[in-house]
Copies of this chain bind each other. A is one copy, B any other.
Amino acid sequence: MNHQYPSILLENAVNEFAKLPGIGRKTALRLVLHLLRQDKEMVDNFAQTIVKLRHDIHYCSCCHNICDKDICDICANPQRDRSMICVVESIQEVMAIERTGQFKGLYHVLGGIISPIDGIGPSDLEIASLEERVKNDGVQEVILALSATMEGDTTNFYIYRKLQPYAANVSIIARGVSIGDEIEYADEITLGRSILNRTPFNESYKLISK
């Protein structure tokens, strides 16, 4: 099977690309042949950028988001509301919430969610450091913005229990029918929760006015 490649160098490069998530051997070959057609400088630059990223990246000592310094731009920004912390799984959720423009507080990046099946327990996540922040930094509200899955719910409950001794309120982002969805086709668990967690009418549109 493996001697199908006419070159060991090519095969090694295909193997490396095929280790990436969602990249099969056929796609890997296509990417490698694309790189072979580029200038040497471009390929060197590609490789250097990745190595530099892995060696020089920082994680914010406050919120644990990826950044270039000891403290990320959000935590260092004096305009942000330091009394609110939004707890997320990873950097992608920070980016997604920042794009909404609806949150002006700080974040806390857990680095994953509790998932016994993947061997990820509370001690693998930044939960102790969240507790420290809530204890010492005058936090008034912690908003849990984890995935609406069983793992997300487990992590929500775990954090909720850990934060019980402190004065901060713990809230969770609204779960309900997506905007644009037709009620007829919404799944029944979502629809049921959206009825239980209904919002007073005069409050429900206040956040959409950007």
Contacts and interface: CB of A to CB of B under 8 A. Distances in A.
A186 interface: no
B4 A66 contact: no
Interface in A17-62: 19-23, 27, 29-36, 38, 40, 43-58
Tell me if A's interface is mostly helix, strand, loop or mixed: helix
A90 interface: yes
A10 B53 contact: yes
A143 interface: no
B31 A21 contact: yes
Given A22-B27, A47-B47, A66-B36, A53 B4 contact: no
A68 B72 CA distance: 46
A177 interface: no
Contacts of A47: 47-48, 50-51
